[in-house]
Structure 1
Amino acid sequence: MKTIFTYVTLLLVSVSAMAEISATEKNALLKLYKATKGSQWTNKWDTKAPATTWYGVEIKNDKVVSLKLMNNNLVGQLPTEIGDLTSLEVLNLFRNDISGTLPASIGNLKSLTKLNLAFNKISGALPEALGNDTQLKTIEMHMNRLTGVLPVGIGKLASLETLSLFNNEIEGEIPTSYYQLKALKVLLLNSNKLTGKLDKEVANLSSLETLSLFENKMEGTVPFDLEKLHNLKEMNISYNMFNGFVSKNLSKLDTLNMTMVNEQGVATTLKVNIDKNSAFAADE
Structure 2
Amino acid sequence: MRYTYTLFLLLMFSLILKAEVSIAEKNALTQLYNATNGANWTSKWDLKAPVSSWYGVKVQEDKVVSIQLQNNNLVGTLPNSIGDLKSLEFLNLSFNRISGSIPASIGGLSSLKTLSMFMNSLSGNLPSEIGKLSNLEILSLYNNDIDGQIPSSIYELKNLKVLYLNSNKLSGTLNPSISNMVSLQQLSLFDNRMNGLVPFDIAKLNNLKEMNISYNQFSGFVSKDLAKLDVLNMTMINDKGVAQALKVSLNKNTAIVSEE
TM-score, normalized by the shorter chain, greater than 0.5: yes
Q: Which residue in 2 is equivalent to 1:113?
A: 89
Report the CA distance shift for 1:29/1:164 in structure 2 as closer, same or farther (over 3 A).
Answer: closer
Whole-angstrom distance in 1 between the partners of 2:48 and 2:221: 66
TM-score by length of 1: 0.71
The one-letter amino acid paired with 1:145 is: S
Amino acid of the structure 2 residue aligned with 1:19? K
Residue 36 of structure 1 aligns with an amino acid whose one-letter code is G
Q: How much has 1:193 moved relative to structure 2?
A: 0.4
Secondary structure, counterpart of 2:102 in structure 1: coil
1:214-239: CA deviation from partner (whole Å, max 9, x where unpaired) = 00000001111111100000110011
Q: Which of 198, 205, 219 is the aligned partner of 1:243?
A: 219
CA RMSD of aligned residues (A): 3.1
Q: 1:259 aligns with which of 233, 237, 241?
A: 237
Residue 244 of structure 1 and its aligned partner are, at CA, apart by 1.2
- Residue pair 2:58, 2:66 contacting (<8 A) in 1 also: no
Output the amino acid matched with 1:245: F
**Where in structure 2 are the equivalents of 1:122-141 lying within 5 Å?**
122-141=98-117
The size of the alignment, in residue pairs, is 234
Specify which of 100, 107, 121 is matched with residue 145 of structure 1.
121
Given candidates 132, 157, 161, the residue that maps to 2:133 is 157
Partner in structure 2 of residue 19 of structure 1: 18
Mark the CA change 1:195 to 1:254 in structure 2 (over 3 Å): closer, same or farther.
farther
Cα 1:54–1:132 change in 2 (3 A) is closer
What is the Cα deviation at residue 60 of structure 1?
4.6
**Corresponding position of 2:4:** none
Note the 1:46-61 alignment, pairs <5 A: 55-61=55-61
Partner in structure 2 of residue 68 of structure 1: none
Equivalent in the alignment of 2:3: none
2:257 aligned with 1:272, yes or no? no
1:238–1:254 Cα contact (<8 Å) kept:
no
Q: Relative to 1, partners in 2 of residues 1:244 and 1:23: Cα closer, same or farther, differing over 3 Å?
A: closer
CA distance in 2, matches of 1:150, 1:193: 11
Gaps of 5+ in 2: 1-9, 253-260
TM-score, normalised with respect to structure 2: 0.77
SS at match of 1:230: coil
Cα pair 1:123 1:145 within 8 Å, conserved = yes
Are 1:211 and 1:234, in contact at CA under 8 Å, matched by a contact in 2?
yes
Please give the secondary structure, in 1, of the residue aligned with 2:242.
Answer: strand
For residue 39 of structure 2, what is the aligned residue in structure 1? 37
User: Relative to 1, partners in 2 of residues 1:112 and 1:17: Cα closer, same or farther, differing over 3 Å?
Assistant: closer
Q: How far does residue 22 in structure 1 lie from its aligned partner after superposition?
A: 6.6
For 1:157 and 1:31, the matched residues in 2 are separated by: 22
Q: What SS does the aligned partner of 1:143 have?
A: coil
> Aligned pair in 2 of structure 1 residues 247, 125: CA closer, same or farther (>3 Å)?
same
